[in-house]
Amino acid sequence: MSLTHIFKDHSAFVQLVLFAGILLSLWFAEVLLSVHQAKLKWQHGGLNLLFILTAVPVQLGMTLLVLSVSQWVTVHHWGILFLFKGNTFVKYLLGFLLLDFFEYVYHVIMHKVHWLWRFHLIHHSDHEVDVSTTIREHPGETFVRVCFLCLWVFLSGATFGLLVLRQTIQTVSNISAHTHLHLPEKTAKVIGWLLITPNLHHVHHHNELPYTDCNFGDVLSIWDRLFDTYREKKKAAIHYGIDVFKVSKSTGFFLLMAAPFSKRKFKTEGEKQNGRKDYG
Whole-prediction pTM: 0.83
CA distance 255 to 54: 14
Q: Does 242 reside within a domain? A: yes
| Distances 179 to 24, 25, 26, 197, 210 between C-alpha atoms, Å | 11, 11, 7, 10, 22
- Counting every residue, how long is the chain? 280
Q: Please check whether residue 174 lies inside any domain of the structure.
A: yes
In-domain check, residue 6: no
Q: Is residue 265 part of a domain?
A: yes
| 242, 248 contact by CB (below 8 A) | no
Could you tell me the pLDDT band of residue 168, with boundaries at 50, 70 and 90?
Answer: confident
Q: Domain limits at 139? A: 18-273
- Write down the pLDDT at residue 46: 77
Residue type, 218: D
Does the pLDDT value for residue 61 go beyond 90?
A: no
Residue 2 lies inside a defined structural domain of this protein: no
Answer whether residue 19 shows pLDDT above 70: no
Report the distance separating Cα 66 and Cα 61, nearest Å: 9
Number of compact structural domains in the chain: 1
pLDDT tens-digit series, residues 196-253:
999 999 999 998 888 999 999 999 999 999 999 999 999 899 999 988 887 776 678 8
DSSP string for residues in 89-118: HHHHHHHHHHHHHHHHHHHHHHHHSHHHHH
Residue 159 in any domain: the answer is yes
d(CA 92, CA 71): 16
Q: What is the mean pLDDT of the chain?
A: 83
Which tens digit of pLDDT belongs to each residue from 138-149?
Answer: 999 999 999 999
With 70 as the cut, is the pLDDT of residue 33 above it? no
pLDDT at 272 over 60: no
Give me the mean pLDDT over the 78-92 stretch: 90
The rounded percent of the chain whose pLDDT value lies above 90 is: 48
